């Protein structure tokens, strides 16, 4: 693949050709001592710009002591507290002395421990830690004989600071508390920033926000905002500064997206107007159902966009089963009618193969060009994946290159340079969140003219996330499911109640006896080995998932008392189900990401035909796989998955006329927040509501997805869920600006920050590639 020719330093960061100008690009060691510079480096801070963007996590004040009760073991903390006592005593077993001090917030206490070679070496601390003195203390919370303590903490008492502070009249100023580490304290960071701020003047700083935008939103300029966020004289200062930086982050990001969109729209597409009596009309006539109102509406928008020379750039979202594929196929057929070709890019081999089958089923003789009895308007659909035999591959490549294949379906293999699709008029990307923008561009580069683009995603994306992650695309949504869908009802099953578990196996048996199919989804492939066999499991906090029992105990009933629960795995669950008396005589199959494509295909086929009506699997079945007879899904350790993912998983069942059942098995205690989260999942069928809830529970980086990580790294203060108004305002203004001044010549500061952001993103992409 063609890689952007950019300098990437050993730590993976990109630098602009020549590097950012002025003071911001300077290494911090020009301003601070070598030790401080090294400690800052460990926090990822290398340049002056990095340092200035290391914003305080919160602000404290002298009068307000920290709540010590909330400190957690192992956490690196900075607290404000009062010294209650400080005593030195000799060590019992060895030579040396110990200073034990107690600090308090008025209610709870924390111990500070210092070891010295002799009493004299500790007296310095004892003098400073005078009873009644308040100060800041920092260290990693440990435990000794049941009480929490900081060993050799770093600290500063306000007494120490008073001379300096009183002289400056800053005793009452808010105290910024920075993300710090064992190697460098919050106040050392604060001093380093103060040094840099002192030498900084407005000319050093790119001003990303246009003056009229700042005026309209009451935002300070860049230099003022930096001073206010790092050295506020009152709470109002840092609040206004944070607001400015949220706008700045949104504005830079939206400008990147607006430019990308403008660039894509600038080179024209070939107009692909609909044709009557073409393959699309023939397809519509063949369809065994009526299009839903939503499908018709989106269909009209897409039809019109394809007919124009402005490239379509559209995101189509809708739940699993909402009928996106049909909409996409009709669009592809319109392009074929106009003499073009269409490519469908799927994230996995299984999905690519399934897409091919679906397309061949739906098209029937319309996909049999060149064969006896084919329809007049017929075309050909070919598959291109990494695991094809050389012969099949050569044949598919030839059909794509000659234009004989109107439809080219495949995985990442489609991106390879040897694949030629000369009349490529439309690219459909299934499950966008697994593809980066660069991959989209690689496909686009195959055609002489810019192809139209339709991105489909089954994960409902909250509006502001769409505006952030997919901000260069217009969005369409299919909200209704086709009629005749029976839907899914969900129940949370507490794993520690044997009666529930027994009942679960009875239900499973009934389902199979009725002719249904059952998925048993596990978070892991095997129980041995570590993280790498976890397939796409959300990385959620599991603090309140208590030790209830292993998968074995869950399946056979009974309560376990293992300290560390093992997550259910395909390898463990499969033999257990095969031995379970309640399921005697029922063949059980398996499917997971470590199987070869042939094995997966065979497993899926056995499941679909009912040869193995129970399939123990990982989330490889998450996307797209369609078995209408599947009526039940059991999700083991359901708490290990994110809400959106759970919702997507259960979309695999209840796709036919029989209602679906989803049982979410969890060992989380019923009163835990984890259990509550699962209950919310059970009660709601609204994918958008669940996606928003997910967003509230997760970190932003996760939400924006791996492919967006380059960008999310530049979001420090902006929160996509709560800052909708900021994102809205920035997007409108950024699009206006780019329309007026595509090269941003009127806003050099913004141009510089946009360049840096794009660079960071591509560096992050190269790192992953
Ligand atoms: P998605 O891609 O959004 O998951 P699909 O397009 O694959 O959904 O549709 C899911 C199933 O519903 C397919 O079997 C499809 O043939 C069927 N389907 C699509 N549209 C309709 C409709 N309007 N009425 C009835 N069934 C439909
Ligand atoms: Mg689909």
User: Does residue 29 belong to any structural domain of this protein?
Assistant: no
User: 350 and 442 share a domain?
Assistant: yes
pLDDT of residue 415: 85
User: 422 and 497 share a domain?
Assistant: no
Parent domain of 152: 62-173
**CA-484 nearest atom, ligand 1:** 25
pLDDT of residue 566: 64
Cβ-based burial of 618 (10 A; exposed 0-12, middle 13-18, buried ≥19): buried
Number of Cβ within 10 Å of residue 74's Cβ equals 9
pLDDT of residue 551: 45
Cβ-based burial of 157 (10 A; exposed 0-12, middle 13-18, buried ≥19): middle
Tell me which range, 73-87, 208-222, 336-350, is most confidently predicted by mean pLDDT: 208-222
> In the chain, what percentage of residues exceed pLDDT 90?
45
Domain of 624: which CATH number? 3.40.50.300
Q: Which of 684, 703, 731 is the last residue of a domain?
A: 684
Higher pLDDT, 655 or 354: 354
Contact 383, 352 (CB under 8 A): yes
pLDDT tens, residue by residue, 92-107 = 777 889 999 999 998 9
Residue 625 has pLDDT above 70, yes or no: no
Residue 553 has pLDDT above 50, yes or no: no
Q: Which of 665, 684, 703 is the last residue of a domain?
A: 684
Whether 652 is in the pocket of ligand 1, judged by its Cβ within 6 Å, is no
Pocket test for ligand 1, best of 290, 322, 323, 360 (most atoms within 8 A of CB): 323
**CA-320 nearest atom, ligand 1:** 4
pLDDT tens, residue by residue, 125-178 = 999 999 999 889 988 888 888 788 999 998 988 877 666 666 556 667 899 999
User: Can you tell me whether residue 482 is helix, strand or coil?
Assistant: coil
Q: What is the mean pLDDT of the chain?
A: 83
pLDDT band for 15, please (50, 70, 90 cuts).
Answer: very low
User: Does residue 748 belong to any structural domain of this protein?
Assistant: no
How is the beta sheet containing 588-591 ordered, strand by strand? 488-494, 660-666, 630-635, 517-521, 614-617, 588-591
* Alpha carbon of 333 to ligand 2 centroid (Å): 17
Domain of 155: which CATH number? 2.40.50.140
pLDDT of residue 704: 42
Q: What token pair was written down for 714?
A: 């530049």
The whole-angstrom separation of Cα 324 and Cα 295 is 8
DSSP E strands in 327-413: the ranges are 341-345, 380-384, 405-410
**CA-328 nearest atom, ligand 1:** 6
Supply the residue whose CA is at minimum distance from atom 27 of ligand 1: 482
pLDDT tens, residue by residue, 554-585 = 454 443 333 335 678 899 999 999 999 989 99
pLDDT band for 435, please (50, 70, 90 cuts).
Answer: low
pLDDT of residue 437: 64
Whether 324 is in the pocket of ligand 1, judged by its Cβ within 6 Å, is yes
Describe the crossing of helices 235-266 and 724-740 by its angle, rounded to 10 degrees: 50
Please name which of 79, 60, 82 lies closest in space to residue 71, comparing C-alpha atoms. Answer: 79
Whether 321 is in the pocket of ligand 1, judged by its Cβ within 6 Å, is yes
Higher pLDDT, 258 or 621: 258
Please name which of 462, 460, 335, 452 lies closest in space to residue 405, comparing C-alpha atoms. Answer: 335
> In the chain, what percentage of residues exceed pLDDT 70?
84
Determine the Cα angle at 370 with ends 366 and 371, to 5°: 75
Quick one: average pLDDT of 587-616?
Answer: 91
User: Can you tell me whether residue 735 is helix, strand or coil?
Assistant: helix
* Alpha carbon of 182 to ligand 2 centroid (Å): 50
CA atoms within 13 A on the CB side of 102: 10
- DSSP β-bridge partners for residue 606: none
Of 150-154, 193-197, 459-463, 634-638, which range is least confident? Answer: 459-463
Cβ-based burial of 257 (10 A; exposed 0-12, middle 13-18, buried ≥19): buried
Residue 391 has pLDDT above 70, yes or no: yes
Contact 299, 425 (CB under 8 A): no
User: 461 and 556 share a domain?
Assistant: no
Residue 651 has pLDDT above 80, yes or no: yes
* Alpha carbon of 47 to ligand 2 centroid (Å): 46
Of 348-352, 404-408, 409-413, which range is least confident? Answer: 348-352
- Number of domains into which the chain is organized: 3
User: 494 and 633 share a domain?
Assistant: yes
User: 493 and 473 share a domain?
Assistant: no
Supply the residue whose CA is at minimum distance from atom 5 of ligand 1: 323
Whether 292 is in the pocket of ligand 1, judged by its Cβ within 6 Å, is yes
* Alpha carbon of 282 to ligand 2 centroid (Å): 21
Please name which of 714, 670, 656, 680 lies closest in space to residue 493, comparing C-alpha atoms. Answer: 670
Supply the residue whose CA is at minimum distance from atom 26 of ligand 1: 482
pLDDT of residue 563: 31
Ligand nearest to the CA of 324: 1
Per DSSP, the residues of 262-282 read HHHHHSPPPP----TTSHHHH
Supply the residue whose CA is at minimum distance from atom 11 of ligand 1: 321
Ligand nearest to the CA of 359: 1
Whether 291 is in the pocket of ligand 1, judged by its Cβ within 6 Å, is yes
pLDDT band for 432, please (50, 70, 90 cuts).
Answer: low
Tell me which range, 178-182, 190-194, 681-685, is most confidently predicted by mean pLDDT: 190-194
Taking the alpha carbons at both ends of the chain, their separation in whole angstroms is 10
pLDDT tens, residue by residue, 671-723 = 887 888 899 899 988 777 887 777 666 544 444 433 333 334 567 888 777 78
**Any residues with CB less than 8 A from the CB of 519 and at least 6 apart, and which?**
615, 617, 621, 630, 632, 633, 634, 652, 653
* SS3 readout for 183-250: CECHHHHHHHHHHHHHHCCHHHCCCCCCHHHHHHHCCCCHHHHHHHHHCCCCHHHHHHHHHHHHHHHH
User: What backbone torsions phi and psi does residue 383 show, to the nearest 5 degrees?
Assistant: -110, 140
User: 551 and 617 share a domain?
Assistant: yes
The whole-angstrom separation of Cα 397 and Cα 405 is 9
The C-alpha torsion from 51 through 52 and 56 to 61, rounded to 10°, is 110
User: 474 and 499 share a domain?
Assistant: no
Whether 320 is in the pocket of ligand 1, judged by its Cβ within 6 Å, is yes
User: Does residue 3 belong to any structural domain of this protein?
Assistant: no
* Alpha carbon of 488 to ligand 1 centroid (Å): 16
């Amino acid at each position: 693949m063609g890689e952007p020719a950019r300098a990437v330093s050993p730590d993976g960061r990109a630098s602009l050709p020549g590097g950012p100008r002025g003071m911001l690009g300077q290494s911090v060691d020009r301003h601070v001592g070598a030790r401080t510079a090294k400690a800052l480096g460990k926090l990822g801070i290398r340049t002056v710009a990095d340092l200035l963007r290391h914003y305080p996590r919160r602000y404290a004040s002298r009068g307000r002591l920290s709540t010590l009760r909330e400190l957690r073991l192992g956490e690196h903390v900075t607290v404000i507290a009062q010294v209650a006592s400080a005593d030195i005593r000799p060590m019992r077993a060895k030579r040396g002395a110990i200073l034990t001090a107690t600090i308090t917030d008025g209610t709870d206490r924390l111990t500070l421990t210092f070891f010295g070679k002799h009493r004299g070496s500790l007296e310095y601390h004892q003098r400073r830690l005078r009873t009644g003195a308040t100060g800041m203390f920092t260290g990693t919370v440990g435990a000794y004989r049941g009480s929490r303590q900081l060993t050799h903490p770093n600290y500063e008492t306000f007494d120490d600071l008073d001379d300096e502070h009183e002289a400056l009249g800053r005793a009452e100023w808010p105290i910024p508390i920075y993300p710090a580490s064992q190697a460098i304290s919050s106040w050392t960071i604060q001093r380093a920033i103060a040094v840099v701020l002192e030498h900084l003047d407005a000319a050093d700083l790119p001003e990303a926000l246009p003056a009229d935008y700042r005026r309209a939103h009451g935002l300070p300029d860049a230099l003022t905002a930096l001073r206010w966020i790092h050295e506020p004289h009152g709470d109002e200062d840092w609040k206004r500064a944070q607001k400015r930086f949220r706008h700045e982050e949104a504005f830079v990001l939206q400008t990147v997206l607006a430019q990308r969109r403008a660039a894509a729209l600038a080179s024209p597409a070939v107009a692909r107007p609909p044709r009557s009596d073409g393959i699309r009309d023939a397809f519509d006539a063949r369809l065994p159902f009526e299009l839903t109102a939503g499908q018709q509406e989106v269909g009209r928008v897409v039809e019109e966009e394809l007919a124009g020379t402005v490239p379509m750039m559209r995101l189509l979202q809708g739940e699993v089963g909402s009928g996106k594929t049909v909409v996409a196929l009709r669009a592809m057929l319109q392009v074929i009618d106009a003499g073009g070709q269409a490519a469908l890019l799927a994230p996995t081999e299984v999905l690519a193969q399934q897409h091919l089958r679906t397309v061949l089923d739906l098209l029937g003789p319309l996909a049999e060009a060149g064969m006896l009895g084919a329809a007049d308007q017929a075309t050909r659909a070919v598959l291109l994946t990494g695991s094809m035999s050389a012969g099949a591959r050569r044949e598919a490549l030839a059909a794509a290159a000659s234009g004989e294949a109107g439809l080219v379906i495949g995985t990442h293999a489609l991106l390879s340079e040897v694949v030629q699709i000369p009349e490529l008029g439309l690219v459909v990307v299934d499950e966008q969140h697994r593809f980066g923008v660069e991959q989209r561009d690689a496909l686009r580069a195959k055609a002489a003219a810019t192809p139209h683009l339709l991105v489909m995603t089954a994960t409902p994306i909250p509006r502001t996330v769409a505006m952030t992650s997919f901000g260069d695309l217009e969005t369409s949504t299919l909200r209704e499911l086709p009629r005749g869908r029976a839907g899914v009802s969900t129940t949370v099953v507490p794993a520690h109640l044997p009666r529930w578990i027994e009942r679960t196996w009875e239900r499973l048996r009934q389902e199979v006896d009725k002719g249904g199919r059952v998925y048993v989804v596990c978070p892991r492939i095997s129980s041995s080995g570590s993280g790498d066999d976890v397939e796409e499991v959300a990385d959620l906090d599991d603090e309140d998932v208590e030790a209830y029992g292993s998968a074995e105990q869950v399946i056979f009933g009974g309560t376990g008392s293992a300290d560390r629960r093992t997550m259910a795995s395909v390898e463990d669950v499969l033999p257990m189900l095969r031995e379970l008396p309640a399921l005697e005589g029922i063949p059980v199959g398996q499917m997971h990401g470590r199987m070869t494509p042939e094995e997966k295909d065979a497993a899926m086929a056995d499941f679909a035909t009912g040869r193995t009506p129970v399939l123990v699997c990982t989330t490889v079945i998450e996307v797209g796989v369609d078995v209408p007879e599947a009526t039940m899904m059991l999700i083991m350790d359901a708490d290990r998955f994110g809400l959106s993912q759970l919702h997507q998983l259960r979309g695999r069942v209840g796709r036919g006329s029989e209602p679906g059942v989803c049982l979410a098995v969890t060992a989380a205690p019923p009163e835990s927040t984890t259990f509550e989260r699962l209950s919310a999942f059970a009660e709601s069928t609204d994918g958008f509501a669940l996606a928003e809830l997910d967003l509230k529970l997760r970190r932003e980086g996760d939400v924006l997805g791996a492919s967006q990580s380059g960008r999310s790294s530049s979001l420090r203060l902006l929160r996509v869920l709560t800052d909708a108004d900021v994102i809205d305002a920035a997007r409108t203004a950024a699009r206006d600006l780019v329309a007026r001044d595509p090269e941003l010549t009127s806003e050099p500061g913004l141009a510089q920050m946009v360049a840096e952001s794009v660079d960071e993103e591509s560096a992050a992409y190269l790192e992953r590639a």
